[in-house]
Chains A and B, each alone.
Chain A
Amino acid sequence: GIQVEQSPPDLILQEGANSTLRCNFSDSVNNLQWFHQNPWGQLINLFYIPSGTKQNGRLSATTVATERYSLLYISSSQTTDSGVYFCAVYDSGGGADGLTFGKGTHLIIQP
């Protein structure tokens, strides 16, 4: 099946800093989503971005499908941005019939 690798695994930043999270995937996809899992375990949809660039406030994401990677940018970090960020893809090659998740990036924003 498709492999999804996220980096870095852990990231500690001061409030106000910017960060870039990366997601590499091993095969072509027709769905890529970024989620934020808050401390209560809720998966919050950030972006649905199989290709191209999207922005939502302080967050933006870019997926380059031909090169099999996606980037999530967080600017002017706030403590509420803390949590685990997951990248998940849907294998267009007929693999598992749901999203395949990476292991996540654990982000801690210190005041």
Chain B
Amino acid sequence: EAGVVQSPRYKIIEKKQPVAFWCNPISGHNTLYWYRQNLGQGPELLIRYENEEAVDDSQLPKDRFSAERLKGVDSTLKIQPAELGDSAVYLCASSLRSWGGGHEQFFGPGTRLTVL
């Protein structure tokens, strides 16, 4: 069974440019998460989707970040415009339905973003 797929694996852009990350979750997983991992830290949640609905986006910086999960499968996370402080690894994870948070989460390989 294929795991969580993310692309691109690496992205280097100049500040003020837009950037987008794509994620395809494990087949059958209704819940999709985007996390951001800064150097030397653990991942931190940005947004959670149940099917196509964003049920928790309280940690997403809405002035420049946006996300969508059309048709409840693939998801795209966008930053526009990027700032130097956005340099990090962006991780996508998926799980079965998250009622009570009791389901195991599986992570993709991440996209390493460098903003110059």
Contact = CB atoms under 8 A, between A and B. Distances in A.
Interface size class of A (residues with CB under 8 A): 20 to 34
Nearest to A94: B101
Given A30-B101, A40-B109, A90-B102, A96 B42 contact: no
B56 interface: yes
A99 B89 contact: no
Contacts, number: 69
Nearest to B110: A41
Given A31-B102, A92-B100, A43 B45 contact: no
Interface stretch (A14-22, A54-62, A71-79, A100-108): A100-108
Contacts of A92: 100-101
A95 to B, nearest CB: 10
B91 interface: yes
B89 to A, nearest CB: 6
8 contacts: A30-B100, A30-B102, A42-B109, A42-B110, A96-B56, A97-B101, A103-B41, A103-B42
A50 interface: yes
Nearest to A35: B107
B45 to A, nearest CB: 3
B44 interface: yes
Q: How large is the interface on B (under 10, 10 to 19, 20 to 34, 35 or more residues)?
A: 20 to 34
A105 to B, nearest CB: 11
A57 B33 CA distance: 30
Interface of B: 33, 35, 40-45, 48, 55-56, 58-59, 89, 91, 93, 98, 100-107, 109-110, 112
Contacts of B42: 4, 86, 88, 101-104
A41 B59 contact: no
Given A41-B110, A104-B42, A99 B105 contact: yes
B102 A98 contact: no
A85 to B, nearest CB: 11
Nearest to B56: A97
